[in-house]
Amino acid sequence: MEMHGELRIPAPRAEVWAKLNDPETLKTCIPGCETVDKISETEFTAKVVARVGPVKATFAGKVTLTDLDPPSSYTISGEGTGGVAGFAKGSAKVSLDDAGAETVLRYGVQAQVGGKLAQIGSRLIDATSRKMADDFFNRFMGVMTSSDGAAPAS
Amino acid sequence: MTEIGTPVRRREDYRFLTGQGTYTDDINRPRQLYAYILRSPHANAALRGVDFAAAAKAPGVVAVYTGKDIEADGVGGLPCGWLVHSKDGSPMYEPPHPVLAQGRVRHVGDPVAVVIADSLAQARDAAELIQVDYAVEPAIANAAGALRAGAPQVWPEVPGNICYDWHLGDPAAVEQALAKAARVVKLDLTNNRLVPNAMEPRAAIGDFDRATGEHTLYTTSQNPHVIRLLMGAFVLHLPEAKLRVVAPDVGGGFGSKIYHYAEEAIVTWAAAKLKRPVKWTAERVESFMSDAHGRDHATHVELGLDVDNKFVALKVSTIANMGAYLSTFATCIPTYLYATLLAGTYTTPVIYAETKAVFTHTVPVDAYRGAGRPEATFLLERIVDLAADELGLDPAELRRKNFIPTDAFPYQTPVALQYDSGDYFSTLELATKAADYAGFEARRADAARSGKLRGIGIATYIEACGIAPSAVVGSLGARAGLFEAATVRVHPTGSVTVLTGSHSHGQGHETTFAQLVADGLGVPIEQIDIVHGDSAKIPYGMGTYGSRSLAVGGTAIIKAMDKIVAKGKKIAAHLLEAAEADIEFKDGQFSVAGTDRSKTLGEIALTAYVPHNFPHDELEPGLDETAFYDPKNFTFPSGAYVAEVEIDPDTGTLEIVKFTASDDFGRIVNPMIVAGQVHGGLAQGIGQALLENCVYDHSTGQLLTASYNDYAMPRADDLPSFALSTHATLCTHNPLGVKGCGEAGAIGAPAAISNAIVDALKDYGVRHIEMPATPEKLWRAVHPQNMAAE
């Protein structure tokens, strides 16, 4: 599946870029994320608990950043296996543009699932992915707008 | 006494309806362990490693095995039971079919490892801890795609993914006849892939007796002796004398429980290794990705007609999806059980069929209720309807014009089979009358006034059942005989035990076979026990499929009863001091012709077991006879179905207003059981036509319909009340004159429904609607301007 979106963040581009590369921010914003550990400048490991319809599983996997063009754009890709629940992989191309004092974030996401997730939840994948993307960017917006930089309770 | 033809209530239903059946999963052995099978989530991937260290240490885990253990123990692959040769005479590609993946997985659901633990929950939890390192590669799920240049290869040694490229008939004669034909009607169609969905999921328990060295497998099988033969000889290398296979009550099979599956071998092997019983039961989602699927054909068909609207030639090219491995009988389905039926009920003089069987990264495909014959019937009855439409003829009239005349039997078709009997005019007449076919246009007009689109569709069918003469199928590549065995054991006090190789998994054999014996021996039905499903009890058995139980298994019982009566006559002649030739047997009495002197079967049996006054010079004691029966020909049930449907053009929803079926099953032993079989077959055929569809993501090979969220099974409210009738012409080569009824509904219904739908949509220029004809497809057909939205 594929989806696209954009949001306007009331913060300068450099600040948005920094947060997008910050493991703590990612952990706060990725729905169900339990850990994000930085391995290198472009690689993280992550653990995410996700629920698709009747399937709930902990996905352990790797997150990599490619096509880095700071502070304008990158591609963030993740691939995780959830044991017998199957696997999920996806990538998001994220770009930032100045809009006065604000920043416009545009994203295009591609996601793919396999195993039990596909077998019993294929019709739910689109809706679930969309919700996860919405949750992510809502929380990210929260991080960017809260005075102390912490995510709001969700 | 005549029990034959009586609607005796099913004796087995008491235990089924009161929850007292014993299915495989109901069986629990002392010290039993539980197996959970870890399956591939990928359609095509190299297995770089399986790390199960954490799983092996998890609570309750007794063992974790992978393909390496299987290989180390010399466990063989699952064999294919039918060798098909290509056009050029070369044998089909027969790749290995390991019971646990060896270095590569080839479909979603391919077994990778088995975890065996004290409880199922522990085994399942431990499986979560297994880390499999997959190197995922591109996959191909649809057969036509697998033939394209550059498509991913399922097997490196199988170029172009072609298992075989087979044909039947004379291509030159067909081309010549088509060239001369006044009209050639052409159609491309697919026969949608189906998942069998027996109510009871597959299960297996392996057990090993250290004291005797005997292995026992309890399994959900339609043919326990076949499993014993295949698993013993090819997979585990166990002598049949030390391997017992029990198929207890089985909750439906529809073909999917014919085959020898990996899990059966795994639990039998592991039980011997661990010296403890091991049970495995499929979860429903596992059934979707490990039970052999059905159908999945893509076909191009051409029918030639002359100026008198007689069929002059038929040409059929089919691409058949085999899946990633060859299931037990996969290879004969789109060949010898398909192309040989393409004459249908018609006199088409020349027919040519070619089938490319193709490997894909999907679950293996094999026989499913009808097995080849629904695919043949669907394309034939669709093209005949299309011809009628193009010629502006009544589809019933075009069929009658081309039917094999009733006085032409035995009739040799151009596709190898010789039909022994049939009367296609009578079943069509019965069905069209009961459906009020003549009055349909008034109903169409009525429906139109309320904004509905009404259509009527006819399908006739022929099927080859009573599978099959061993010498014939052997010459065509079968690696098995297809006889059946039965023992009739008359006990000292006159009650009777029948041991039959025809397994019953819903068909009602315990009733039908008891009726045969009650009729044949004059014994009350309450004193007859029908035993099946245990290789330790039954002399032998080829099992239940292809509507063969009554025609082949029932005939074996008749033959064994003939031996009982022959021996009984000798004993009676001795006791009555008469000549053997003067002894008559009727209604359980042996009597001297023309006298009132007689002995009951019970008296004869008692004498046989207490042989004080007995012709010892001539006879052995006892009254226990076994017969093996090998049929002389297939049997050929036939029939005509009429479907009437109404479509709401605003929503695309369809209602089956009426469904009329008229079948020729030969002699009918139990009309109630026959009606039940027809109902079930029709439900599955209508399911294929309107609801069921197994969907793979073409680019990834992911199975997208692996639960009842996404795979639509027919429900009671999807089906009308069926109007059934029968018209019998007797089978000429078995003593009962029976033909078989198990698959008919699934064979005839898809074409009848599809023809009715196309008829309903004819004003919209619709030539064909692919199955399943969902409301979305129907709505798009009447709103073509919205097609672009797809």
Q: How many angstroms away from the CA of A91 is the closest CA of chain B?
A: 17
The DSSP bridge pattern shows strands B214-219 and B243-246 to be: parallel
pLDDT per residue as tens digits for the range A80-108: 888 778 888 888 899 999 998 899 999 99
Which pLDDT score, from 0 to 100, does residue A147 have?
56
Average pLDDT (B430-456) is: 98
Name the nearest CA neighbour of A33 among A49, A45, A52, A56: A49
Say if B13-137+199-252+257-290 and B483-629 have the same CATH topology. Answer: no
Please, which pLDDT band fits residue A79 given cuts at 50, 70 and 90? Answer: confident
Is B370-463+634-789 a CATH 3.40.1190.20 domain? no
Query: Closest Cα of chain A to B288: distance in Å?
Result: 9
CA distance B422 to B404: 9
Terminal-to-terminal C-alpha distance of chain A: 26
Cβ separation A120–B127 shorter than 8 A: no
Full set of structural domains in chain A with CATH: 2-145 (3.30.530.20)
Across the interface, do B108 and A115 touch by the CB < 8 Å criterion? yes
d(CA B510, CA B594) in angstroms, rounded, equals 36
Query: What residues of A are in contact with residue B42 (Cβ under 8 Å)?
Result: 87, 114-115
Which of B:708-737 have CB within 8 Å of A?
A: 709-710
Of B42, B129, B288, the CB nearest to A119: B288
Amino acid A148: pLDDT: 53
- pLDDT surpasses 60 at B559: yes
A34-49 pLDDT, tens digit each: 999 989 988 999 998 8
The closest CB to that of B709, out of A81, A112, A120, belongs to A120
For residues B607-629, give the mean pLDDT. Answer: 97
Residues 31-70 of B with CB under 8 A from A: 38-42
CA dist A110 to A30, B276, B450, Å?
Answer: 16, 48, 47
Report yes or no: B481 and B769 within 8 Å, Cβ to Cβ: no
Q: Are strands B589-592 and B583-586 parallel, antiparallel or unpaired?
A: antiparallel
A53, A83, A114 ranked by CB distance to B700: nearest: A114
CATH classification code of B13-137+199-252+257-290: 3.90.1170.50
Confidence of residue B790 (pLDDT cuts 50, 70, 90): very low
CB contact under 8 A, A119 and B706: yes
Q: Does B138 touch chain A (CB under 8 A)?
A: no
Q: Cβ contact (<8 Å) for B42 and A114?
A: yes
Instruction: Just give the CATH number of B483-629.
Output: 3.30.365.10
Is the minimum CB–CB distance between B288 and chain A shorter than 8 Å? Answer: yes
Chain B interface, best mutation among A47, A79, A120, by max B CB count within 10 A: A120
Please report, in angstroms and rounded to a whole number, the separation of the first and last CA atoms in chain B. 64
* Mean pLDDT over each residue of chain B, to the nearest integer: 96
If we measure between CA atoms, which residue out of B642, B645, B636, B659 comes closest to residue B729? B636
Q: What does the pLDDT look like over A3-27, one tens digit per residue?
A: 888 899 999 999 999 998 888 998 9
What pLDDT does residue B370 have?
A: 95
Q: In what order do the strands lie in the sheet with B624-629?
A: B528-531, B496-500, B484-490, B624-629
Contacts of B716 (CB under 8 A, 6+ apart): none
Side chain identity at residue B427, one-letter code: T
How many angstroms separate the CA atoms of B40 and B112, rounded? 6
pLDDT at B1 over 70: no
Please give the interface size between A and B, counted as residue pairs whose CB atoms are below 8 Å apart. 60
Non-local CB neighbours of A52 within 8 Å, separated by 6+ positions? A113, A117, A121, A124, A125, A128
DSSP symbol at B527: G
**Got the DSSP string for B233-275?**
IIIS---GGGEEEE--B----TTTTTS--HHHHHHHHHHHHHT
* Residue among B39, B285, B700 minimizing CB distance to A120: B285
The reply to whether residue B706 touches residue A120, judged by beta carbons under 8 angstroms, is: yes
**By mean pLDDT, which of A50-54, B247-251, B335-339 is the weakest?**
A50-54
Comparing A61-65, B54-58, B446-450, the range with the smallest average pLDDT is A61-65
In this structure, which amino acid lies at residue B127? A
Complex ipTM: 0.76
pLDDT of residue B786: 60
Cis-peptide, bond into residue B447, ω within 30° of zero: no
Question: How close B372 gets to chain A, by Cα (Å)?
Answer: 27
- What one-letter code names the amino acid at B304? G
Mutation site for B-interface testing, chosen from A59, A116, A124, A125 by largest number of B Cβ within 10 Å: A116
The domain limits of chain B are 13-137+199-252+257-290, 370-463+634-789, 483-629
β-sheet bridge partners, residue B104: B46
Q: How many whole angstroms separate alpha carbon B568 and alpha carbon B523?
A: 14
Asked whether the predicted pLDDT for residue B485 surpasses 90, the reply is yes
Q: What is the CA radius of gyration of chain B?
A: 27
Tokens describing residue B86: 């290509």
| Residues of chain A neighbouring B284 (CB-CB closer than 8 A) | none
Supply B589's token pair: 């009495």
Mean pLDDT of B372-378: 98
Let me know: does B597 contact B576? Beta carbons within 8 Å: yes
Put simply, the answer to whether B704 touches A86 (Cβ < 8 Å) is no
CB < 8 Å to B702, chain A: 113-115, 118-119, 122
> A121 to chain B: which residues are within 8 Å by CB?
709
What is the per-residue pLDDT across B136-145, written as a single tens digit (0 to 9) for each?
999 999 999 9
| Closest CA–CA distance from residue A47 to any residue of chain B (Å) | 15
Amino acid at A71: P
Return the structure tokens found at A136.
Answer: 């992510």
> What band does A56 get if pLDDT is binned at 50, 70 and 90?
confident
